[in-house]
Each structure stands twice: as C-alpha cells, then as structure tokens.
Structure 1
Amino acid sequence: MIKVLVTGAAGKIGRNVVATLGCESKYKLKLADINVEGLQEFKELGYEVIKLDVSDLEGCQVVLEGVDVVIHLAGNPSADADFYETLLDGHIKGTYNIFKASKDNHVSRVIVASSAQTIEGYPLDYQVHESSPTRPKNMYGVCKCFVEAVASYFAYEEGVHSVAIRIGAYDDLQPSGPPLSARDMSAYLSPDDFSDLLLKALNTENLPPYKLLHGISNNRFKRLNLDDTKEKIGYRPKSDAFKQSGIQFFDHDK
C-alpha cells in the first residue's frame, strides 16, 4: 500500500481529499492538522490522526517517517490572512518544513496546494497560462508564489518530485448557497473535478521533476487555461459554474 500524509486534513478541501482517497484501496492515509478536534470522525473510522503544527520542523520530520506521498494542504485559506499572524508560519515556514522533511524521509512525491491568487493581479479578461509570470494581488498570493518556488527548488535541486496545483474558487455550489461573482465562476473548481485532478496528479507517471497544474472546472469562461494540464495528466473536468448558476448562452452553429 502507498502511505499518504494529508496535511490540513480537517479543512474543506482536506476532507474531500480524505473522502476521495479513502475509496481507493491502494492508499493508507495518515491525517494531520493543527485542529485534531476536526478530525475526530475520521479517527473513529480508524484513520491515523496526528496533531501537527507545520511551522515545527521537528514535528514534520516525525510525522513524515514512513510516508510515501504527501498532499500538503495546511495553511490559512483566506486571501485576507495577515502575514505575521498566520501566513509566515503556515505558508512560508510550513511549506519549507514539509519539503525539507519530505527530502529527509525519501518521500516519492509531494503534491502541494498553490492558488489562483498567485495570478490575481492580472486583468479579469486575461486568461492565465502556466507559463505566465506570477502576479499576486495580496500577501496570500505572494506566499503561494513562494510555495511554487519551493516546490520547484526541492524538485530540481533536492530530488523531491513535486506537483503544485493552483486551486481556484473551490466550492460545491449548492442552489441554496450564495451566488458566485463572475470572477469566481471563471475560477470555479468543483469537489468532483478536484478529486479527478488529484488522482491523476498522484498516478500520472513520466511527469517532469516539478509540474505546475491549473485547478479549475470546465467553466464556459476560464480564468486559468487548462490545455497543458489536460494534456499532461489527462484531466477532464465536467462542471461548469456558469451553467450551474443558471446562466444561458445562445450559441448558433455557423
């Protein structure tokens, strides 16, 4: 079995990851979060649950012993998060610690959560490609640029195979929920599409040492270009936030 560590497992995306990988018999999951109370139900189901502050390098070293793959999601998900209060420890120190511990424990692959906030400074009518220079609009985005850079460094200089996923507006888009803005619809990522993207990021072989993937759904208008992600790992998103929001387009074949 492949032993997978999921950091930030108590978060919204982390819980979806646990549900997705828990259905795959080849994975044995170890769940880590600073909020272990949020993992109680998983502990009752028999999962290995560990309290982890990713800003603690020694703690990361201990948790990564015997781990084959890391899915690193820990950190404050708010674009408005304060740099000194949360981002410095959670995203800067935490990301370095996870990659350093992954190298020291011979982890075969690290999949790390980046964000569409790395390019949020571009005009809203600009579609961003993986090769577009980063252009963050807030310190959260700046920290996610650091995440991508650390992943690239550890891949090419330290031998840690790394995948960074720029996660867009992750949401289950319930009819009773609040409506999304046009920007969020263009960056929308459904839980089902993220599950497909994650599994393919885990299982696709022959990727370069570091690969940047774009994580949005098949929205009618796309903030992030998906051509390279589709080609490299066979990603086939199905959800469309514009369609799910009831917006109709009247197209005519020429």
Structure 2
Amino acid sequence: MSLVLTGAGGQLGRVLRPRLLARGIPLRAVDISPITPVDPRETIVIGDLRDAGVVDEALEGATAVLHLAGTSVERPLPEIIENNLVALHALYEGARRHGVGRVVFASSNHTIGMYPAGQKLRLSDPYRPDGFYGISKIWGEAIGRLYRDKYGIEGVALRIGSALTRPTEPRHLATWLGDDDLEQLVVQSLTAPISGYQPVWGVSANTRGWWDNGEAAELGYQPSQNAEDFAAEIMKTGGRDWVFQGGSFAED
C-alpha cells in the first residue's frame, strides 16, 4: 500500500502518522500548513487540496487515501463549503485520475447529532445533523458512495465519535474513540475486503455506547479500549450531561 494522509498536521494526523509508519506503511503526509516529517520514510506535500496541481502531486502513485483534512468544527457555511465540500470533490476527482483504489473518509457523529443522548442507533437510522459541519460530513459520505458506484473507488466512512487520548466528560463515556482503537480501525478500513461503500462508527468498546457497530466488526475491527475505565474519575470531576448526542454542536 502507498498511502496518502491528508490533514496530516491535525490532531488525528499527529496521532496516526508515527503509528502507520511503524507498521511499515509508506506514507505521504499532506497539509495546507508546513509540517515536519516524523520519520525519514515520510514524504511531505504542502498545499491546498482545492488546487488540482496539489492533488496530483499528493496522489501520484498512491493506492489509498486517508482523508482527515477539512474544517473540523462548526463554522460559517461558506468556509464549510470550501474546505469540506469543494476540497473533497477535488480529492475524489484526483483519486479517479490517478486510479486510487480506496478512500477512507473521516466522517463524524455530528451527522446524527440531533438524536437524543442515550438513544441507541444503527447506521441505517436517518441522518439528523446538528449543524453545517454535520451536513458537510453527510455530503462526504454521499460523494464517497457516488464515486464507488460510478468509478469503482472503494470507500469507508468513519463516523468518528470523540477521538481523544482519554475521555474527559460524561458524554465521552458513550462516544470515546481511543488512540489504539483509532489506529486499528484505520488500518482495518484501509486493508479489509469490502464489497461496496461502508460507513462504520468510529468508537471504542464503551460500556455506555450508543451505536451498534456490527459493520465495523465485519472489517475485523475489535476495539480494546473502554471509556468506562475512566468513569469514576470523570463522574467525580463532573461535567455537563448534554441533551443531544452531538453535545455542544447541537446546542450552539
């Protein structure tokens, strides 16, 4: 596998780059801002993914893409459109030009953020986004399915919960995705056989979890982390119990 990782300088990119390189995966790290290689085996591409030239430089010779780039918080709609819709379309067009076999897309729990906290969900449940950011991730899942159906580019959409080194608030007891599980889920999403376009929940094996993740199990994902290990500490320090699954995004 020759892997391109976009958004390499972001929170998740910084966690994953050394871990993927340690697995021996050749990695081209892409970001709009300057970043420093974490390993001599890592190639760096700096530029804006809305620029076809940057996309071509990034995807030359690639077999797979892990797309983490984009605006990751709620922002005005014009910014969301440029960074999460226009740039993603440019990336998929580049993947089509260069014959990339698979794109793993960082989707989000904010696609369903207006469901009540505590309600059990399956991936087949209707979208209920909690803002423009959540809508952009619905777009991302849709464009991935389009390029799978029309052009044969395999895809996995990771509906990431709360990807953190450790959970810090009551909501995370349901939504937490630990670093070890993030790594495993990404690797399985990049390598496991899939028959179509596959959304999965990006979440650890949390005792209080809200989301049925049978589809991720079909990829061979076997999470080993559980936010319950931190429950006593979290409940002692307190924190708000949100009304909706999207937490603060749903109430801003």
Q: Is the 8 A contact 1:6 1:14 kept in 2?
A: yes
Q: What letter is aligned with 2:33?
A: N
Which whole-Å CA distance do the structure 2 matches of 1:184 and 1:217 have between them? 10
- What is residue 217 of structure 1 aligned with on the other side? 204
1:57-76 matched pairs, under 5 angstroms: 57-76=52-71
The one of 50, 53, 59 aligned to 1:55? 50
* DSSP 3-state at the match of 2:146: helix
Which whole-Å CA distance do the structure 2 matches of 1:20 and 1:217 have between them? 18
Q: Is the 8 A contact 1:190 1:239 kept in 2?
A: yes
Q: What letter is aligned with 1:209?
A: G
The one of 159, 162, 172 aligned to 1:166? 159
Are 1:99 and 2:98 counterparts? no
Which whole-Å CA distance do the structure 2 matches of 1:58 and 1:87 have between them? 22
Deviations 1:205-236 (A, max 9, x none): 2x122111111011111122112211x11211
RMSD: 1.8
- What is residue 83 of structure 1 aligned with on the other side? 77
- What is residue 18 of structure 1 aligned with on the other side? 17
Deviations 1:104-150 (A, max 9, x none): 10001111100000000111121221111111011100000000000
Runs of at least 5 residues in structure 2 that lack an aligned partner in the other structure: 235-252
Equivalenced residues, count: 235
Deviations 1:137-192 (A, max 9, x none): 11100000000000000001121111111111011117xxxx31x32321110011
Q: Is the 8 A contact 1:55 1:94 kept in 2?
A: yes
Q: Is the 8 A contact 2:159 2:202 kept in 1?
A: yes
Task: Please say which of residues 138-147 and 155-164 is displaced more in the overlay.
Answer: 155-164
Are 1:152 and 2:145 counterparts? yes
Are 1:119 and 2:112 counterparts? yes
Q: What letter is aligned with 1:70?
A: V
Are 1:140 and 2:133 counterparts? yes
Which whole-Å CA distance do the structure 1 matches of 2:219 and 2:233 have between them? 30
Which whole-Å CA distance do the structure 2 matches of 1:52 and 1:227 have between them? 37
The one of 33, 43, 68 aligned to 1:35? 33
Which whole-Å CA distance do the structure 2 matches of 1:204 and 1:74 have between them? 23
1:40 CA drift (Å): 1.3
Q: What letter is aligned with 1:90?
A: N
Q: What letter is aligned with 2:159?
A: R
* DSSP 3-state at the match of 2:30: strand
Which whole-Å CA distance do the structure 2 matches of 1:28 and 1:208 have between them? 25
TM superposition score normalised by structure 2 = 0.88
Deviations 1:71-101 (A, max 9, x none): 11001211x22221x3111100111111111
